[in-house]
Structure 1
């Protein structure tokens, strides 16, 4: 067969199989038997093997999983993937509604969607072709898992229109796939996954896409990252557009005219959710109007126009067999209940938090008691109460020790604290936990340095503080348990890559008391370098709105330590970045910028800047970059092929610039 004839056959087969997949995995209305699909797929594979130049990125053959990856590349999201605030009862939902209406008026409607218990991902399509997929990560930076996402058959490799778009959704493992996977793992003598969410996340973070392909994952898309030039004005319209483009959305969604309809929808699903073929852990409620979403805005972590209603906690009865003590990185000694494993809220639970000694006394908890355990979604399981009437007399009272279980130092209870604390700065448990915190995702995010590896390196005396991580060598690592050549090389590359992190990651990783991830970013933005922050006074720190006296005092005390100074010098010598790399907050000098406080809309195709670059530069100068034109818009920047937004701006008499004018002003 000649190439031209083969090309027609291949394209026809690709289009036909993609349509059959869409019918089967998205519409759930298969039009041919599985055997016929498999026959056509084998035929396509044979053609593509004979004519490899005809294999395209949207071919169904690309779903079987490509070559094993060395490691996941980092991906910076074009716009943040924010988390949602939570509601736990009707009062919380009505309070959310009240705040929304106070901000935008009473003419507001909502869209309710099932909150799928899976892994949040973002998918980018260029000219209709699936180009990249990534995990949520920390909301700003995720991991490139494109090859693994291609194995999910409900993700179209080519949209129904040649559109450039970024869509977001939840990848999940259906209950049947989860049961089959765990059955196979148990037959092989392996530890089963605790729940479908962990199984989905583990599958998509496999370095071998062929393993991900065997897991039979699925996805529901729930939003566009940016409506761009689509003309969409509401969230519900956006979901309808995703349907038309061939994406799989959840059909159980409902548009509600008011909060009473929202509450009725929520109450209905509390009862119906066990009948679903997948796990959900709540209902997401969103303001439908995109203009109203823009008015409401976001906090640093969450949109003000959406909330996640979490289903009521599930309670079960089990036996408390022991109480185990652990020492955290701040020295707090925490008791944990060791339970007879029991299934609750979709997870097998064998441990539960007891918080502190006062709680144990208050609830009269004894070893051997029958206890009620509660868990809701991701919330840590807790012991609710004891079934004292079931006691046999063999139960044993628990007493907190007077000495640290790790280093035998005296435990103290600081003023106004209920927790017992080990104040020995050389306590091995605190050092180990501090190391684990330093490499964690929200801190330096070093892939391959999980809790087990850190513990191993610490016990082998290869690391004693965080600076030692940057001194590790191939020779030190290759001899360790479960560390082959590929693992060692990947780990060393990840350590090297972490050196270029922005300052806030390092600050959070250092574990300064009272300084969380958000405060670390605020400090990094304000002072820009470690040196300037280290010499900041109490007065300079408390002058910042988000920094209170207690936190400021903690920062000053931290940097006064000689040991801290030596540690920072070691890190800097190792090549760890000591400066802030993100956009700085709008300062007083920026208030003189033309853009400060103005609402700007970008439309059409820009030639010298990408849309995202223009947006970032404008926001750095204090502008609010909006997605649609309204009476509140101050300026529209129109590139080539600008459409309805330009026309609306002209109708409203809004100032319009071309890209050349924008660039001139940005350079001032």
Structure 2
């Protein structure tokens, strides 16, 4: 009888069907995980990190339930793998992996187990860089060898490639209090800085090549080039996060070792912190969970370590992981899933946009089944095909995006996407709006139900008339009621809606999770209901409130009216600039193009688009119907006696992220009321960037250019006092 047929106490399990199923699944998983590890180290992964984690932890669960299935060659007892493409080298000390956990409860369980043995020990917290693990060996201060992790015992010699990375010193620098050791084995991550990765992918697409799926894959592929000159072309960087073999240096703590590494010229993370309790570690996790997109590199979690080295040694390690450290993984923002189809949506200005229909997948805390593909050129540049396994990314509240195909997972059954020649909503022929335009557009602006539906949804939104209870489904019902003529043929009649227009409207009931029609349990046909009326034919409360809110919306300021017209290129910022300058919609409509272009925040492209829009008869008819319905068409001139102090006069301000106690439009208005100018992009001429909660790439650009940054919580003081620039110290001032 083999050991796999018997329990640890000698019980024969061959007749146990559950054990047989577990053994079969164990064999399948072990083979799959081994293959995925090989692909990972070849920079050709076919599944995402989160999906690999799921497989790996399923294998752990099986071995926990059936310990006899665990053997020395099980993936759970190994760190990784290595390729024969490079010369194999043996690490001086084994590189261990980290125990991954996915909830704070699991972190607490780990900490409780540790504190039961060694109470009151401080923790070192650091962000988990999503890069490629490498091992550097310095002999008497000189870089002697660099290798990949491999299987933890044996790695690949990539010394020539690592030598091209500017952040890796060829020779250590002596520093006061830190003599250069005779032998130093350094563990760390090679990574792509986020900004450099974005530029790399832009260049890939521009060159007609497929973009890299993520920075880690790009880093792995760049480092493992047979020609080191090709590695040198890529802006890779490095951060050290641990030590292996040592001779001539004895750190007493992890934080002590980081101080030494920094002193010798080896970069460590700028984000690490020593904390006294696990609750402080939780606060660190929360802090960097919110800031994960503001850092210089991608992270996928937080690592918590016992800081003191002697306690680390006391706690020891398993065959694969140290017991004194744990890695908390953030919910994945990048996963692999199947691309079931590519369809085309029509936007409010007629733009035809391909989008992906996905096999539903959980990413960034929500289930995703649709993702943007931008335009036909992007689909072609990314090399995406229907039927592909694709990498899908969703960061926070950002719209999900298909990043790239997983070419290694192709079967040959995938099909190329062909951009339709006709609008899927109204069957009009799609064409570029102008020469050189990469986007195809539907020219049937007035009658295309897709465009009208999107325009209605936009004008009811917060940056326009802000009509509560007039959501997307209500807009769709007004444009395409079931079995009836449209209630609205364009947005001109939106303020003339009456309850008698709404009550007959019927719609198909759809499942909120899948979006598919719900069947009527009696007939089996699609279930149809009145959208604005209850079962008795009386108005629903939402219908009453929608009409009341439309009446209130007529009093919105002029800039919201301008924005609600859905003029191409005109957004909230340019709408506010126009309203502030002209204060009358008729003056905007009749203004000279050059005069409009001269308005700060407008320019020639927007000015030309406005003139083109008002040249269309049915566009002007919309304005007249709104005017007749009582929509505000003018703003009053400001009262000089109520003018605010011009603390920001002449200062160009960019606003990004959520600002406490302000909408984005309200924050912009507050800046303008104090003499400032609001811009949508950051440049060297920008006076300040106001960065609130979850700022975007504008924050990164400000940091890169050295533009002063005002935190969201400092906004009130910024309005009151203007931009405070620290005085130059005597030591920094130029000599007379």
Question: What TM-score results when the alignment is normalised by the length of structure 2?
Answer: 0.40
Larger Rg: 2
Q: TM-score scaled by structure 1?
A: 0.44
